[in-house]
A and B are shown apart, each in its own frame.
Chain A
Amino acid sequence: MSENGIASSAPALTCTKCNIELFLGKVTVSYLGSEFPVDLLKCPVCGTVFVPEDLALGKMLQVEQALEDK
């Protein structure tokens, strides 16, 4: 889950609430009782996280399905 596919090519994303650019940071994602650390863009002030489309429909979906079949 370390890849997110956006680190280099992603356009600048800003948290509109905090008016600050998102930076790459450690985030925990969880499903069906399992937790994983992931590097994702997040707001340094409020912690809002961005999950890019290719991650949601790619690796994240694969892991969801693998966990569902455990």
Chain B
Amino acid sequence: MDHQRAKERENQCIQEQPPKCMAACPVHVDARAMIDCVRRGDYRAGLAIFNKTVPFPGIIARVCDHPCQTACKRAEIDEAIMINAIEKACADHSDSDAKKPFMLPKKEKRVAVVGSGLSGLTAAADLAAKGYRVSIFEAADRPGGRLREFGAETLLSDAIEKDLSLLNVLDISLHLDSPVSNQGGQTLDSVLDEFDAVYLGIGPATVESSSHGLTISASADGLIAITPLTYSTSNEKVFAGGGHRYGHDYSPITSMMDGRLAAVSIDRFLQGASLTANRDLEGPFDTRLYTSIEGISPEPATPMANRIEGYTQEEAEAEARRCLNCQCLECVKVCEYLAHYKSYPKRYVREIYNNDAIIMGSHNANRMINTCALCSLCKAVCPVDLDMAEICLDARQSMVDKRKMPPSAHDFALRDMAFSNSDSFALARHEPGHETSSAVFFPGCQLSASSPEQVTQIYEYLRRNVGGGVGLVLGCCGAPADWAGEKALTDAAISAFADTLKEMGSPKIITACSSCLRLFRNHLPDAQVESVQTLLAMNPLPESASTKIPAHVTIHDACASRHDNVVQDSVRSILGKLGVKVSELTDNRHLSPCCSYGGLMSFVNSEVAEKVVRRRVDESDADYITYCAMCRDNFAARGKRAMHIFDLIWLPAETDPAARKGPGYSMRHENRARLKLHMLNNVWNEKTAEEEEPMKLSISPDVSELLETRMILIEDIRKVIAHAESAGQKLLDGKTGHSIAHYRPVSVTYWVEYSSDGDEFIIHNAYSHRMEVIEGLSK
């Protein structure tokens, strides 16, 4: 992922967009954060947040015309949050006063501010904090301008005096009774001679009547010509804003904004910087933040017992609890993986980019990148279609390219895939008695591993119903390599399959697994691919179809079929034909989560995989119907009653198929290998070489479970014992009398503790490590 692409993806995520209240506020008060403090009863922190944006919090809290409330998301449900009243509660109930702002070192440049209304005061405070030497010229005998017009019920003089003590703190010279005009006092020209820049915050008065001694352009109706974005005038040293721009439509918070933004321009002017660059997010704007209001019950605004005093603490906190604390987090809400790492895609993209770009040091995001199920549920719920699957897969491919992929991450799954595409399982045959194939059945590796007997039954059904010769191709589609970011390996698997298809006359592919179906559609665009499920929906069901209909089931859609309505509908249609009563999970079809097999999550991060599968199985008490063998087995492994749709059609030997646990890793290999032999023997009448009597092992259920958790295959155990017994290289544990042996077939060293009983080996323990021990006596 290059820097540009990373930036684009980061910007795509809207989680860090401001909430509507903040975006609508002319000076962007972080009302959401302030209200969150009040919710916790922390008025000091609430005031500090308010004060971060507003230099005169006591004044603004009392006079603000609060456009934030008009924008408030809560208004779409019932009533807007009383943000202004909560601001006032912060000012009233905080045990601390406004903080002294952070001040830059003093500069030599001097700025004059004409008028001490909100815009002038704000411009003066902001510029003084930036280190400029600021003087305010006020025509009246006290500062405040139009603030003095508010009645005492709204704004007591005490509150004004308290906040204006900031002028002293900031070392601002306040000149009262100091009009700037042509009639006595100073003229603007004389001020300009003395100062490096001037801000005019002269209120609604027109230029003629105010007679400020202006040497700047004004319109016919007496208003100074002010450039909207920069607040500049016809004189480059003079800036103007505030009530003068709005006449008698007084908006205190807009006046404050004008003072602030004019101060930005004055600072840029005095530093010789561009007045116009990067100013597009100043003032009120439309936020891109999306916030779901689904499921939120209406609740009216908290009433105020005393309208003059404002909210009590109890009232303010009750009102703060109504705040939606607007966030997007749509993807994080539905994905245990995204929630596990306690952040959201914007941050994850940055972490993933840094992980990819780093040359020295630890790649701390490796595990996070390799844990994603690549199921794209995030994209399905994202208001802007951001897809973490694409980002994580791209990162995995880059790790493989740079040889930075941790060898342990996908090794087990890739060896499983290699097994499926080896002679042990791989097979391609035309139907007996046919020289060509109109279609081939590709059951995939996991149905063959979980329910090999169903593969034989489905194949028989297809031969009867499809016609024209239905061939059989056994193997793995390449999905594990694709998920592992191993492009070369994926391409090799697909290209080998494509060659096989070509040799068979390019027949239609019939898949049993949603992942195979999706992979073939994506990688073999010219091939005709269809699912067994679709064929079953369109054709009469076989006679074997269940008569023991479960009372109540619900469907778990496969994440690989997220956007495949045809397969989703087919499954529902089959259940309809069977007369099964079906209820739907809330998150079904395109919103279905992964079962934790996707993206090889369960091999990389069992902790997150457990959370993912646990959340899904806890959603309903009904038996789950899946149409992917891995979903079924993953649910069943957690004690969830789950059946593959095929379990209702081709009854397994078990009396209660929903209670069947899927086979472990070793048995999955064995099932595939036996399926191939069974097919060759029974369908093609090919006599296979006599199977050698395998080494007899005795493994207790506890040890079996240990092997499963540690991902150690029985075939590896056999290799260790065979090596130890033939080479005589093993250790004897004096206490237990057990033999301990190790063997490293390729990149993992396996240790097995065992004893023997006649020709049987009893397995007591096994473990492995990847680190290589350099043995021998050289040192």
Interface residues of chain A, those whose CB is within 8 Å of chain B, are 11-17, 22, 26-32, 35, 40, 42, 45-51, 53, 56-57, 60-61, 63-66, 68-70
Complex Cα gap A56–B728 (Å): 23
Minimum CB distance partner of A13 in chain B: B731
Residues of A within 8 A of B779 (CB): 26, 28
Q: Is the interface of A mostly helix, strand, loop or mixed?
A: mixed
Q: Say yes or no: B408 contacts A30, CB within 8 Å.
A: no
CB distance from B369 to the nearest CB of A (A): 11
B740 to A64, Cβ gap below 8 A? no
Whether a CB of chain A sits under 8 angstroms from the CB of B406 is yes
Return the contact of A48 from the options B408, B409, B729 (Cβ within 8 A). B729
Q: Could you say which residues of chain B place their CB within 8 Å of the CB of A68?
A: 366, 406-409
Q: Among residues 364 to 397 in chain B, which have CB atoms less than 8 Å away from a CB atom of chain A?
A: 364, 366-367
> A46 vs B751: C-alpha distance in the bound complex, in angstroms?
18
B731–A47 CB distance below 8 A: no
Interface contact B364-A69, CB-CB below 8 Å: yes
Residues of A within 8 A of B363 (CB): 69-70
Known A56-B751, A68-B407, A68-B408; contact A31-B772, beta-carbon cutoff 8 A: yes
Query: Would you call B775 and A61 a contact (CB within 8 A)?
Result: no
B219 at interface, CB cutoff 8 A = no
Which of B735, B767, B771, B773 is A11 in contact with, Cβ under 8 Å?
Answer: B735
Inter-chain contact B775/A47, CB cutoff 8 Å: yes
Say whether B732 contacts A49, CB under 8 Å.
no
Do A13 and B768 form a contact, CB below 8 Å, given A49-B773, A70-B362?
Answer: no
B696 at the interface (CB under 8 A from A): no
Say yes or no for B511: interface residue by CB 8 A criterion.
Answer: no
Instruction: Give the residue among B367, B408, B769 with the most A Cβ atoms within 10 A.
Output: B769
CB distance from A21 to the nearest CB of B (A): 8
B249 on the A face (CB < 8 A): no
Chain B: residues with Cβ within 8 Å of the partner, total of 39
Interface string of B735-779 (1 = CB under 8 A from A): 110011010000001010000000000000101111111111111
| A6, B778: Cα distance in complex, Å | 24
Q: Residue-by-residue, is B717-736 near A (CB-CB < 8 Å gives 1, otherwise 0)?
A: 00000000001111111111
Chain A: CB-nearest residue to B732: A14
On chain B, the residues within 8 Å of A61 by CB distance are: 769
Task: Report which B residues bind A (CB closer than 8 A).
Answer: 361-364, 366-367, 406-409, 727-736, 739-740, 742, 749, 751, 765, 767-779
What chain A residues lie within 8 Å of B734 (beta carbons)? Answer: 11-14
Q: A17-B729, A46-B777, A56-B767 are in contact. List 9 more A-B contacts (CB 8 A).
A: A13-B731, A14-B732, A17-B728, A29-B773, A51-B751, A61-B769, A65-B406, A69-B364, A70-B362
- Report the Cα distance A27→B527, complex, angstroms: 56
On chain B, the residues within 8 Å of A14 by CB distance are 731-732, 734
Taken together as a complex, chains A and B put the C-alpha atoms of A16 and B771 apart, in Å, by 24
Q: Quick one: closest A residue to B363, CB to CB?
A: A69
Residues from chain B with Cβ under 8 Å of A56 in the complex: 751, 767-769
Most buried by A among B730, B731, B736, B742: B731
**CA distance in complex: A12, B732 (Å):** 8
Q: How far is the CA of A49 from the CA of B774 in the complex (A)?
A: 9
Whole-angstrom CA separation of A30 from B775 in the bound complex: 11
A27 to chain B: which residues have CB within 8 Å?
773-775
State A45–B776 Cα separation when bound (angstroms): 9
Closest A-chain residue to B770, C-beta based? Answer: A64
What is the chain B residue whose CB lies nearest that of A14? Answer: B732
A11 and B733 CA atoms in complex are apart in Å by 7
Tell me if A53 and B751 are in contact (CB < 8 A): yes
If the complex has contacts A28-B779, A69-B362, are A51 and B773 also in contact, measured as CB distance less than 8 A? yes
Residue of B361, B364, B751 contacting most chain A CB atoms (<10 Å): B751
Contact A49/B775 with A12-B735, A16-B732 known, Cβ cut-off 8 Å:
yes
Asked if A64 and B731 sit within 8 Å, CB to CB, the answer is: no
Contacts of B729 in A (CB 8 A): 16-17, 46, 48
Contacts known (A13-B732, A14-B731); A51 close to B774, Cβ less than 8 A = no
B539 to chain A, nearest CB (A): 50
Instruction: Tell which of B361, B366, B765, B774 touches A53, judged by Cβ atoms closer than 8 Å.
Output: B765
Q: Of A22, A26, A35, A53, which one neighbours B767 at CB under 8 angstroms?
A: A53
Looking at the assembled complex, report how far the CB atom of A57 sits from the nearest CB atom of chain B, in whole angstroms: 6
**CA of A48 to CA of B407, assembled, Å:** 26
Separation of A27 and B779 alpha carbons in the complex (Å): 8
CB distance from A27 to the nearest CB of B (A): 6
18 A-B pairs with CB atoms under 8 Å apart are A11-B736, A13-B731, A15-B732, A16-B731, A17-B730, A30-B771, A31-B770, A46-B776, A47-B775, A51-B751, A60-B769, A64-B408, A64-B769, A64-B770, A65-B406, A68-B408, A69-B364, A69-B366
